[in-house]
Amino acid sequence: MYTVILKNVHKIYQLGSVGVPALSDINLDIRPNCFTVISGPSGSGKTTLLNLIGCIDRPDQGEVIVAGQAIGQLSDDALSDFRARHLGFIFQNFNLLSVLSAYENVEYPLRLTQMPAAQRRARVLALLDAVGLADKANNRPGQLSGGQRQRVAIARALAPAPQLVLADEPTANLDSQTGAAIIALMRQMQREHQVSFVFSSHDPQVQAQADDAVFIRDGRITHVQRRVDSVEACA
Amino acid sequence: MNTLLLALRNLLRNRRRSLTTLLAMVIGICAVLIFGGYARNATYALQTGYVQMHGHLQIQHSNYFLYGSGNPAAYGIANYPRIMDVVKQDPVLAPLLTVVTPKLQLGGIAGNFAAGVSKNVIASGIVVGEQNQLRTWDDYGSMSYSPQFALTGTSQESVIIGTGVARMLQLCGPLKVSNCPQAPVAPVSAERAAPDDITALSALEQRADALPANQTHIEMLAANVHGAPNVVNLNVVKAENWGFKEFDDTVMIMHLAQAQRLVFGGAPPQVTAIQIQLRHTSQMAAARARLEQLLATTFKDEPLEIQDFETLAPIYGQSIRFFDSVFGFIATLIGVIVLFTVGNTMSMAVVERTVEIGTLRAMGQRRSGIRALFMCEGLLLGLMGALLGVLTALLLAGLINHSGLTWTPPGYVYAYPLKVRVWGDLGLIGGSAIGLVLVAIVSAWWPANRAAKLMIVDALRHV
């Protein structure tokens, strides 16, 4: 069972009266528990594809199935609830809430899933410990380095125990050493938490870690490279 | 981290902007409360003045209010002593009463024939002690400065006149009225200035034991109960300013017995009104109901009716409506200013936090959650603004109330302490505070709704 299935997906952006195709005829299966990288030059459609997989955008044509759920049939609220329970996001700019501490940032998605307070606390502390920030729980993002912020973002993405984590250029704003550490941490977390990671990235370090690599150009998938070929191979 | 706490932290994120917004709200609600308190005090002061003058209720002959003014003979109340006794001893009314006093109003001509001048006047015959008691009513703590009548302890022929009457009768000098222009000296003799018939009547009225003529001596001519002219000698003890020029130019106050002698002579004396003053204005409806019951039963054969001070002094209601309209205008103006101030603040917050909104939505926050977050920020701004505004207004009101300033209500010549009645006026405080909070919530709604409707991908792309 694939974590994500895209069938004949098309996405067109309207620029005034002109329709600009961002994705054309995308067919893609993302395997569970794999480290999947979407690569391609700027403007190729990586982020658009990631947005569709992350259920924060809808295709103009075709079908997107995530964690067994066809998202085209869901209302906006249902889709929000779906994202809260099944998806995690890591952003290039970390996108932590500046008014919340590291602890509160990680806790936020758990509040959306109505997790009981005691259970929530235990999970947040465990995740902060897992990303090496147990001692920074009360620090706000402004008091953390870039690498530390991205660690908090990783913990936040994993907090609701999602089936899929999406990361848009997660190392783009980090130096190579910190980026490598973050990639290693994400790889570790992906394995420990048995979760699928999908990246969009130019970073060779990220591509080197990938189980699967999806190459995209001009809105079309040119080829998919799988390190091993079985559906459950990554697990 | 509940929504309210998150909203509070978001407000504290840009302290200067939040403080500026709060300041606008505090100034706004202060203006509303201070003016509301001032208007309330003005209303109380006006009411105090009119209740001191008219009492709360008056029993009058039917239609006297509409048609009987100046005609005490046709619209008098002959049975007034018994009516007053019944009212005073009524078990329902007695606990409510402070004063029940008769009054006779009549029209006539006052003449200072030594100076060759005369003036038509409206005279009121009063029981001085009871009228003085009327003037002590101060249910609202206005600390009224209304003076006692200068007729207190004077002889029956003593009267008070308005300064306008004194001016026209050329009595300002003898009565030591300040700011009273002197009329040019009449080119003709006093005997020629007065009509012959009045002069003759005046002469007839002179008695052998009349008071020696002096500079404050005047004559008063009025129609008696039979329609014939009657004249009395009077001694003006004081000229008082009565505020309204039209009133000041015609008013004369005299002892009731003197007025009754002038109009009724040897006939049974009557009055034109029985003034009833209550302990509290709030008792007026109950007192009126009981009085109407008495008039319909005990005095069913007498053509009597009841008038309240608001009817007798229409300017009271007009003043309240004026204050209400100004208050409404100020409140609306402040509301619009707060609406745009909070709306602008929230709109800026939405723009600044667009990426954050996209992030929250991506994590699974529903549109309603985003809307609630910004609405909570508006609510908190409103609550903080209302709380700080009310506290500031109470402080300012306290300072004003202890400043020793005074003001003179329209139509008054004596001053009241300037007070701003905010403390204890829960309707004003609560209404203004709730209004401010509602305005803040309403003004936050549009930006909040806009934030909730942002497309996630567009929000995340926002720079």
Alpha-carbon torsion angle A175, A176, A180, A181, nearest 10: -40
Q: What is d(CA B191, CA B194) in angstroms, rounded to the nearest whole number?
A: 6
- Here the CATH number for the domain that contains residue A181 is 3.40.50.300
| pLDDT tens for each residue of B244-262 | 788 889 999 999 999 999 9
Contact criterion met (CB below 8 Å) for A28 and A221: yes
Minimal CA separation from A96 to chain B, in Å: 8
Residues B323, B43 contacting (CB under 8 angstroms): yes
Q: Bridge-partner residues for A15, per DSSP?
A: A18
Q: How large is the average pLDDT for residues A123-145?
A: 94
A130: left (phi over 0), alpha (psi -120 to 50) or beta: alpha
The set of residues, in sequence order, having a beta carbon less than 8 Å from that of B413 and lying 6+ positions away, is: B240, B241, B242, B243
pLDDT digits (tens, 9 = 90+) for B125-184: 999 999 999 999 988 887 666 778 888 888 999 999 999 999 999 888 888 888 888 766
In a domain, residue A53? The reply is yes
Residue A173 has pLDDT above 90, yes or no: no
Helix (H, G, I), strand (E, B) or coil at B23: helix
Each residue of A85-112: pLDDT tens digit? 999 999 989 999 999 999 999 999 999 9
pTM: 0.80
pLDDT, residue B199, reads 61
How close is the nearest chain B Cα to the Cα of A107, in Å?
Answer: 8
Q: Please say if the pLDDT value at position B208 is more than 50.
A: no
- Say how many C-beta atoms besides its own lie within 10 A of residue B286's C-beta: 13
Is A85 in Cβ contact with B359 (below 8 Å)? no
**How many Å lie between the alpha carbon of A60 and the closest alpha carbon of chain B?**
15
Kindly tell me the burial class for residue B248, based on how many C-beta atoms sit within 10 Å of its own C-beta (0-12, 13-18, 19 or more): buried
How close does chain B come to A122, measured CA to CA in Å? 16
Give the pLDDT band (50/70/90) at residue B207. Answer: very low
How large is the average pLDDT for residues B220-232?
88
pLDDT for B388: 96
Radius of gyration for chain B, computed over Cα atoms and rounded to the nearest angstrom = 32
- Measure in Å the smallest separation between the Cα of A225 and chain B Cα atoms: 28
Give the model's pLDDT for residue B202.
60
Q: Residue A201: phi, psi to the nearest 5?
A: -165, 145
**pLDDT in the model for residue B172:** 86
Q: Which residue has the higher pLDDT, B196 or B320?
A: B320
Handedness of CA B130, B136, B140, B144 (dihedral sign): positive
- B399: which residues sit within 8 A by CB, 6+ positions away? none
A89: in domain: yes
The type of residue at B120 is N
Chain B residues close to A152, C-beta within 8 Å: none
Q: For residue A27, is it within any domain?
A: yes
Chain B residues with CB inside 8 Å of A77's CB? Answer: 366-368
Interface residues of B toward A, Cβ cutoff 8 Å, are: 1, 6, 9-10, 12-13, 355-356, 359-369, 455-457, 460
Q: Has residue A233 been placed in a domain?
A: no
Kindly report, residue by residue over B100-137, the tens digit of the pLDDT: 999 999 999 999 888 888 899 999 999 999 999 999 99
Given pLDDT bands bounded at 50, 70 and 90, which one contains residue B54? very high
Is B243 a residue whose pLDDT tops 80? no
pLDDT for residue B99 is more than 90: yes
Residue B418 has pLDDT above 70, yes or no: yes
A198 in Cβ contact with A4 (< 8 Å): yes
Phi, psi of B319 (to 5 degrees): -65, -40
Exposed / middle / buried, residue B315 (Cβ in 10 Å: 0-12, 13-18, 19+): middle
What's the number of domains chain A is made of?
A: 1
Q: How many CA atoms lie within 13 A of A182 on its CB side?
A: 31
Residues of A at the B interface, defined by Cβ within 8 angstroms: 51, 54, 56-57, 76-77, 80-85, 87, 89, 91, 93, 95, 97-100, 104, 107-109, 111-113, 156, 160
Residue A232 lies in a domain: no
Query: A5-31: per-residue pLDDT in tens?
Result: 999 999 999 888 888 899 999 999 998
* Tokens, residue B181: 């222009």
pLDDT of the residue at A15: 85
Give A74 to chain B, closest Cα distance, Å: 13
Shortest CA gap B373–chain A (Å): 14
- Residue B197 CB neighbour total at 10 angstroms: 10
pLDDT at residue B174, rounded to an integer = 86
Domain boundaries, chain B: 3-47+317-461, 101-271
Q: What is the pLDDT of residue A176?
A: 85
The average confidence (pLDDT) of chain B is 88
Q: Which residues of B touch A111 (CB under 8 A)?
A: 1
Instruction: For residues A206-220, give the mean pLDDT.
Output: 89
Q: Is the pLDDT of residue B353 over 90?
A: yes
Cβ contact (<8 Å) for B1 and A81? Answer: no
Q: How far apart are CA B307 and CA B314, in angstroms?
A: 12
Taking 60 as the threshold, does the pLDDT of residue A167 lie above it? yes
B10 CB neighbours in chain A (<8 A) are 99
Contacts B9 to A, Cβ<8 Å: 99-100
To 10 degrees, the CA torsion angle through B290, B291, B294, B300?
A: -140
A75/A102 Cα distance (integer angstroms): 31
Say how many CB pairs under 8 Å bridge A and B: 70
pLDDT more than 70, % of chain B: 91
| DSSP 8-class letter at B56 | S
Instruction: Give the pair of three-digit tokens for residue A68.
Output: 């067994």
Q: Could you tell me if residue A66 is inside a domain?
A: yes
Chain A residues within an 8 Å CB radius of B1: 100, 104, 107-108, 111
**What size, in residues, is chain B?**
463
**CB nearest to B362's CB, from A89, A97, A160:** A89
Q: Say if residues A229 and A54 touch (Cβ distance below 8 Å).
A: no
Q: What percent of chain A has pLDDT over 90?
A: 66
What is the pLDDT, as a whole number, of residue B1?
62
For residue B416, the distance in angstroms to the closest alpha carbon of chain A comes to 54
Q: Identify which of B6, B369, B457 has the shortest CB distance to residue A51.
A: B457
Interchain contact, B362 vs A113, CB within 8 Å: no
Contact B364 A109 (CB under 8 A): yes
Q: pLDDT-derived band of residue B210, with 50, 70 and 90 as boundaries?
A: very low
Distance, CA of A197 to CA of A38 (rounded, Å): 11
- Across residues B46-71, what is the average pLDDT? 89
Q: Please name the amino acid found at residue B340.
A: F
- The yes-or-no verdict on residue A73 having pLDDT over 70 is yes
Q: Which residues pair with B230 in a beta bridge?
A: B222
Tell if the CB–CB gap between A99 and B457 is shorter than 8 Å: no
Residue with more model confidence, A111 or B188:
A111
Q: How confident is the model at residue B381, as a pLDDT?
A: 94
Task: Mark yes or no for CB contact A89/B355 under 8 Å.
Answer: no
Query: Which pLDDT tens digit goes with each residue over A47-71?
Result: 999 999 999 999 999 999 999 999 9
B363 and A108 within 8 Å at the Cβ level: the answer is yes
The domain of A11 spans: 4-226
Higher pLDDT, B440 or A227: B440
CB contact under 8 A, A56 and B361: yes
pLDDT attached to residue B74: 85
Which chain B residues are within 8 Å of A89, Cβ to Cβ? Answer: 359, 362-363
SS (H, E, C) B62-117: CCHHHHHCCCCCCCCECCHHHHHHHHHHCCCCHHHEEEEEEEEEEEEEEEECCCCE
Average pLDDT over residues A156-163: 93
Which pLDDT score is estimated for B211? 42
